[in-house]
């Protein structure tokens, strides 16, 4: 078995990226128990961050960057999402912790269905609606935010009411022609919200089953 901190630091370089216990066992040609021990040692050195994939399966992101005390938007989302996200290129922020409002805008800008599903849980944590509006306005995403908020109110528990001022400002920005969050994707189940805000929602109720558990 590998011994010594320096050897584990060298091992980290060869394992850079995403691994599960199974892939790590195969890559290092070791049994499951030893693979778990390797992850344990790498985590103690600060090289490992854990997320959850399909079926709550643990996925380990191994990288020297993890030791630099940065935090990614994906990590913040995963604290609240019913199904964890795995990003092949996580964006790390150093020296500060991004707000939930900033993280929500990041998730919408990803234009990725997985991120949109996971980000609905962030509406439970939004407290600075003024900040959210400023960020959304800057990215021209005000109506997208309101539309997704209304979806979240239907499927996510304990989402607080959006201030009337935010809603009224969004109404003023509503366009005559509907637009997509993700090109060519629209909903079969949220037509009322789509028509109300002129935003095509790339989600259906079947996509949000995890929120019911």
Spell out the domains of the chain, with CATH numbers in brackets: 1-68 (1.10.10.10), 70-213 (no CATH)
pTM for the model stands at 0.70
Over residues 7-31, the pLDDT tens digits come to: 666 665 678 888 899 999 998 999 9
Distance of alpha carbon 99 from alpha carbon 91, whole angstroms:
14
CA 118 vs CA 38, 79, 88: distances in Å: 30, 10, 16
pLDDT band at 48 (very low <50, low <70, confident <90, very high): confident
Position 97 pLDDT exceeds 90 = no
Distance of alpha carbon 65 from alpha carbon 74, whole angstroms:
15
For residue 113, what are the contacts with CB-CB under 8 A and spacing of at least 6? 182, 185, 202, 203, 207
């Amino acid at each position: 078995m590998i011994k010594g901190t320096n050897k584990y630091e060298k091992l980290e370089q060869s394992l850079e990226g995403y691994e599960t216990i199974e892939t790590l066992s195969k890559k290092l040609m070791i049994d499951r128990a030893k693979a778990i021990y390797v992850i344990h040692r790498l985590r103690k050195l600060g090289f490992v961050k854990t997320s959850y994939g399909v079926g709550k399966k643990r996925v380990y992101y191994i990288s020297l960057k993890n030791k630099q005390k940065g935090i990614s938007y994906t990590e913040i989302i995963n604290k609240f999402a019913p199904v964890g996200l795995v990003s092949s290129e996580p964006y790390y922020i150093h020296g500060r912790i991004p707000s939930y409002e900033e993280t929500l805008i990041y998730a919408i800008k990803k234009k990725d269905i997985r991120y949109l599903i996971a980000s609905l849980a962030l509406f439970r944590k939004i407290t600075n609606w003024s900040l959210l509006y400023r960020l959304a306005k800057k990215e021209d995403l005000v109506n997208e935010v309101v539309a997704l908020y209304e979806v979240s109110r239907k499927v996510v528990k304990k989402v607080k009411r959006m201030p009337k001022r935010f809603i009224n400002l969004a109404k003023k920005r509503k366009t005559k022609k509907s637009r997509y969050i993700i090109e060519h994707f629209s909903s079969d189940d949220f037509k009322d919200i789509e028509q109300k805000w002129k935003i095509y929602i790339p989600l259906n109720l079947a996509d949000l089953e995890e929120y019911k558990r």
